[in-house]
């Protein structure tokens, strides 16, 4: 079986300082992979290089065996890789539902033009988007809030909304950058339940998260980054005991 994602020797420099140094990872279809590591260890940079938001200086990213290195983000998203960002960015005047539609339009480079001319295909895709939005609202538990401006949402609800935006296009591979950061234990449980449901529906998930309990419980495999290098990659119970991880990550 070919890996769904192959990251091969990824290296990225910022002003001569390396953020990633030859990171190599294969992710098989259906895997639940956690990525942990201290702040600044390269987790977000790894995601940015996979999703086309950054161009690596060396190395390649293969998706379903095809080279996607350096493709523009919307092409990579359309190919089936969804992601969330560490910082929640929303448009204050727009509603919850607007945001879900926006997530679709952002990925369809020509979608807005098609809407303007009201082509039948655009109408059809709009109907599909409505149906999908209803599904996603149910999944992330925001159906009752769909017509509210996002300013009415709590921080936790906004985190759920950006998760909903990331799954609108039914990504095959979902990259989540700290989806539980700063939210209360109830929302953490909600996020975990959503991720389990997505996994059951066939999604492959890579989870960057500081909540170690959540990562260790949820993931079948945990990768540890330190200073842009992989220092451990294995089942949670193995990684938890790894002396290099204890040293680097927990500082003892």
- Residue ranges that bind ligand ADP, judged by CB under 6 A: 14, 19, 37, 39-45
Pick the closer one to ligand ADP by CB: 36 or 97: 36
Q: Find the shortest distance in angstroms from Cβ 100 to Mg ion.
A: 25
Pick the closer one to ligand ADP by CB: 228 or 236: 228
Q: Find the shortest distance in angstroms from Cβ 38 to Mg ion.
A: 10
How far is 4 from 175, CA to CA, in rounded Å? 13
Pick the closer one to ligand ADP by CB: 9 or 30: 9
Long-range contacts of 142-149 (CB under 8 A, 24+ apart): 142/96, 145/96, 146/95, 146/96, 146/97, 147/95, 147/96, 147/97, 148/95, 148/96, 149/92, 149/93, 149/94, 149/95
Out of Mg ion, ligand ADP, none, what residue 222 binds, judged by CB under 5 to 8 A for its kind, is none
Q: What is the largest CA-CA distance in the chain?
A: 62
Q: What beta strand segments (E) does 4-131 contain?
A: 5-14, 17-27, 32-36, 58-63, 66-67, 81-83
Q: Find the shortest distance in angstroms from Cβ 123 to ligand ADP.
A: 40
Pick the closer one to ligand ADP by CB: 46 or 96: 46
Pick the closer one to ligand ADP by CB: 10 or 122: 10
Q: Of residues 21, 44, 51, 84, which one binds Mg ion by CB under 5 A?
A: 44
Burial class, 18, CB count within 10 angstroms (exposed 0-12 / middle 13-18 / buried 19+) = middle
Q: Find the shortest distance in angstroms from Cβ 225 to ligand ADP.
A: 6
Query: For residue 107, which of 135, 132, 73 has the smallest C-alpha distance?
Result: 73
Q: Give me 71's structure tokens.
A: 């493709």
Q: Find the shortest distance in angstroms from Cβ 58 to ligand ADP.
A: 15
Out of Mg ion, ligand ADP, none, what residue 45 binds, judged by CB under 5 to 8 A for its kind, is ligand ADP
Out of ligand ADP, Mg ion, none, what residue 21 binds, judged by CB under 5 to 8 A for its kind, is none
Q: Provide the binding-site residues for Mg ion, judged by CB under 5 A.
A: 43-44
């Amino acid at each position: 079986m070919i890996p769904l994602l192959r990251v091969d020797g990824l290296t990225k420099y910022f002003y001569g300082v390396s953020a990633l140094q030859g990171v190599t990872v294969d992710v098989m279809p259906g895997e639940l992979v956690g990525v942990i590591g201290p702040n600044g260890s390269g987790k977000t940079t790894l995601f940015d290089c996979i999703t086309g938001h950054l161009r690596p200086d060396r190395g390649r990213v293969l998706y379903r065996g095809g080279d996607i290195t350096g493709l523009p983000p919307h092409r990579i998203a359309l190919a089936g890789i969804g992601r969330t960002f560490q910082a929640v960015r929303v448009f204050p005047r727009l509603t919850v539902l607007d945001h879900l539609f926006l997530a679709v339009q952002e990925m369809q480079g020509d979608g807005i033009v098609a809407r303007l001319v009201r082509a039948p295909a655009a109408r059809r895709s709009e109907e599909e988007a409505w149906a999908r939005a209803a599904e996603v609202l149910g999944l992330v538990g925001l159906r009752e809030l769909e017509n509210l401006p996002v300013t009415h949402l709590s921080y936790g609800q906004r985190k759920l909304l950006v998760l909903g935006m990331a799954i609108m296009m039914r990504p095959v591979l979902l990259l989540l950058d700290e989806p539980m950061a700063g939210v209360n234990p109830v929302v953490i449980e909600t996020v975990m339940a959503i991720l389990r449901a997505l996994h059951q529906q066939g999604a492959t998930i890579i989870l960057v998260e500081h909540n170690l309990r959540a990562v260790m419980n949820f993931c079948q495999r945990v990768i540890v980054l330190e200073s842009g290098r992989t220092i451990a990659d294995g089942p949670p119970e193995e990684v938890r005991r790894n002396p290099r991880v204890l040293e680097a990550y927990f500082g003892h």
